[in-house]
Structure 1
Amino acid sequence: MSERSLRDIRFPRIPAVPLAIGIGILIGGLLVLASGGDPIAAYREIVIGALAPSNWPNTLNWAVPLVGMTLVAALPLRGGMVNLGGDGQLVIGGLVAALAALYLPLPGPLLIAASILCAMLASGLYASLAAWGETRFGIPMLISTLLLSYPAIGIASYLVGFPLRDMATGLAQTRMIPDAARLPVISGPLNIGLVLMAIVAIAVVFYDRRTVGGYELRMRGLNAKFAGYGGVRLASQQLRVMFASGAIAGLVGAILVLGSLYRYQDGALLTPGYTWSGLMAALLAGGAPLGAICAGLFFAGLQTGGFAMQRETAIPRVLTMILQSVIILFLAIRHGVGRKSS
């Protein structure tokens, strides 16, 4: 076979996502090997810790907020918008849910529904501020969403640290919410929040694939100017999408407060890093809601598997965070993110 013939042979192109995951696993294994550990044992414990039937409830329990925050990032990303304010929107949702549960004079089921709706409304409106700032004043939403998180977190910290603090404790947190406001338990650590998040995920996928609004959002992501010329009202669309994104973050905050913490605790919603893991999962899927949900479940499995790996092999679970970062990095390289134009 001639040299020219060899050059003309086209080898199958490996899809970007599996390639990025494979490279991440390879680099993670090399890091474990370099530190004196057994990479095969480490990955075995991650798989068992995430997928063993006895561990499914823990994985699903972690997946509820992570998939929710993945959708928070994926929905705007589908239209070429970036929402970096998930932390602030999550905090507002959690705090408002706790306050509604504590102070609204409603019976059990109505109190739960009102607390969740108040949380979603407050977070949705707060997220809309960034969209309004860009459409009205030209403030880039990439910057404003991130900056708006700081006052939200700071004000919430002040409120639960001083005027709303549970005086029976020395911690910055509200009083415990009443039993009537707590989400019904399904099994073990799982509560009705799993069902609520599943409904939201199905609704987002349906909106993306089966509605005119979803089609217009995808067109905006491909070419915003073309979508505008085609009749899409970009400003109102941006407000709606950001409201929906913030509302999902508020729902996540409400589920965490009403379903597991049973009060708002300063910093408790932010420490697990749901927002940034969700953003990475959304980037891994390119903003596609169905792919983002799968990526969120994958990252949730990495997190719960990381705990099992650390417990069984003494390899720190930070390895799973390295895997996430490396996967996104190589996916970005494969897609040419940051490549200089010629």
Structure 2
Amino acid sequence: MMETGALNLRNVLPWLWTVLWIASIVLALLLFVGAPVGEALSGFWQGAFGGRRHAYLMATLSRSALIVGMAISVMLSFRAGLFNIGGEGQLVAGGLAAGLIAILLPGPPLVVLAAAIAGAMLAGAAWALLAGVLQLYMGVPLLVGSLLLNYPIRYIGSYLVAHPFRDVPSGMVQSYLVPQATWFAYFPGTRLDIGILFTLTATAFALVYSYGTLHGYHTRLNGLSADFARTVGLPVRRLTLQTLAISGAIAGLVGAIAVFGIHHRYIDGMLVQPLYAWTGIIAVLLVGMVPWAVPISGFFFAAVQTGAAGMERAAGVPKEIALVIQAVIILFVASRVSGALSSRAGRGDGDA
């Protein structure tokens, strides 16, 4: 019993130390810029969770729908040992496909919406599968291939909304509006759209898939040791492609949520500049790829970003402090990953 308690304490202490470390750095930054700490913290809280009729909380939830969705996408591939960091490209592919299908496809609004969402998921899955094919059949490491594939789809999207599908009268580099009847409805009395329900559905799917399905168990086994999975007869190649397709499909779904719930069109850079995909990666690594903790981590990062805007309004603290906080967390995550790799290498040397 004492040994178990000591083990739990060893697991908790690093997290407590990290929270204190981040808090001390934020406090130092506030003092450095000469901001009133009390007003800044109050502004942060109000900016993340307050507002009239909790308007800022709705904004946090809206942002978290995209961050959590991308985090779920990343988590499924990372747990399978597939370092798919092409979520940004898969997100863009999904958003672009959703916007163009809704503009071009005639028919009843619900049919158009369903077709656009399905097309977005297929586009995201196809872009992820391309990275898998490059690794399995052409020897391009997934880490490299998925990263490089982020760029061509961004440029393809930029070209399409800058030329053939540009809404010229708007004066912006963006597509035409999707039909208003396909826009996601808001929850009554709020500015939060029902797109978050799609994220919740994807989260529930990921939890059931990870903890309650044989395929999820096989992918986890492949993530722990691909050589062992191959030795016991698991179809590693097929698992790789299937997992990447699922991961990419969820990223594509997130792109559709952004189109129909927030922007109502595809705007050049709308899915890239907010760093949804990269924030999702940080959120997953912060909680060690534990499925049930990923939504909490994603919501935390959304609150940091909206809360930082509240600090700027209330106390004049630059909202870029949110990026500093994320940088601090990245350093923590990097130290944990480095420590884990060093420990694994040490055990390997000892076994030898």
For normalisation by structure 2, the TM-score amounts to 0.89
Separation in 1 of the partners of 2:33 and 2:276? 28
Aligned pair 1:229/2:231, yes or no? yes
With over 3 angstroms needed to count, the CA separation of the structure-2 counterparts of 1:117 and 1:331, relative to structure 1, is same
Q: Which residue number in structure 2 is paired with residue 331 of structure 1?
A: 333
Paired position in structure 2 for 1:203: 205
Q: In the TM superposition, what whole-angstrom CA distance separates every residue of 1:251-290 from its partner, at most 9, and x where no partner exists?
A: 1111111112111111122121111111110111222222
1:171 correspondence with 2:172? yes
Q: Deviations over 1:162-187 (max 9, x none)?
A: 11212323322111111122122224
Q: Any conservation in 1 of the 2:124–2:248 contact (CA below 8 Å)?
A: yes
Partners of 1:337 and 1:309 lie apart in 2 by: 36
Distance in 1 separating the partners of 2:155 and 2:283: 27
Are 1:20 and 2:21 counterparts?
Answer: no
Unaligned runs of 5+ in 2: 1-5, 347-352
Percent of aligned pairs with the same residue?
37
Secondary structure at the aligned position of 2:61 is classed as helix
Please give the alpha-carbon distance, in whole angstroms, between the structure 2 residues aligned to 1:261 and 1:330: 34
The aligned counterpart of 1:35 is: 33
Letter in structure 1 aligned against 2:63: W
- Contact preservation (8 Å) 1:16, 1:334: no
What's 1:3 paired with? none
- Relative distance call for 1:33 and 1:163 in structure 2 (3 A) is same
Partner secondary structure for residue 190 of structure 1? coil
Q: Which runs of 5+ in 1 are unaligned?
A: 1-8
Question: Structure 1 CA distance, aligned partners of 2:179 and 2:136?
Answer: 41
Establish whether residue 274 from structure 1 lines up as the match of residue 273 from structure 2. no
1:179/1:277 CA distance change after superposition, 3 Å? same
Structure 2 letter corresponding to 1:107? P
Shift of residue 195, structure 1, vs aligned partner: 0.9
Q: Which residue of 2 aligns with 1:119?
A: 120
Counterpart position of 1:82: 83
Note the alpha carbon deviations across 1:95-137, whole angstroms, 9 max, x for none: 1111111111220111111110001101111111111111112
C-alpha distance in 1, partners of 2:220/2:318? 40
- Is 2:77–2:83's contact at 8 Å kept on the other side of the alignment? yes
**Residue deviations 1:67-106, cap 9 Å, x none?**
1111121111112221211221111111111111111122
Q: Distance in 2 between matches of 1:233 and 1:130?
A: 18
**Paired position in structure 2 for 1:4:** none
Identify the range of structure 1 (145-154 vs 217-226) with the bigger mean alpha-carbon deviation.
Answer: 217-226
1:254 aligns with 2:243: no
- Name the one with the larger helix percent: 2
Give the TM-score of the pair, scaled to structure 1: 0.92
Stretch moving more, 158-167 or 329-338: 329-338
The one-letter code of the counterpart of 1:263 is R
Count of aligned residue pairs for this structure pair: 334
In structure 1, how many angstroms separate the alpha carbons of the residues matched to 2:249 and 2:182? Answer: 19
- Counterpart of 1:99 in structure 2 is 100
1:1-20 maps to which residues of 2 (within 5 A)?
Answer: 12-13=9-10, 14-20=12-18
Does the Cα contact within 8 Å between 1:123 and 1:246 map onto a contact in 2?
A: yes
Q: How far apart, CA to CA, are the structure 1 residues paired with 2:187 and 2:104?
A: 26
Q: Report deviation, 1:159.
A: 1.1
Q: CA deviation at 1:56?
A: 2.0
**Change in 2 beyond 3 A, CA 1:29/1:338:** farther
List per-residue Cα deviations over 1:285-315 (Å, max 9, x = no partner): 2222221111001111111111111110111
Which is worse superposed, 51-60 or 206-215?
51-60
Question: RMSD of the TM alignment (CA)?
Answer: 2.1
Q: Structure 2 vs 1, CA of residues 10 and 307 (structure 1 numbering), >3 Å: closer, same or farther? A: closer
Structure-2 residue corresponding to 1:316? 318
Contact 2:72 2:202 in 1 (8 A): no
1:72–1:246 contact (8 Å) kept in structure 2 = yes
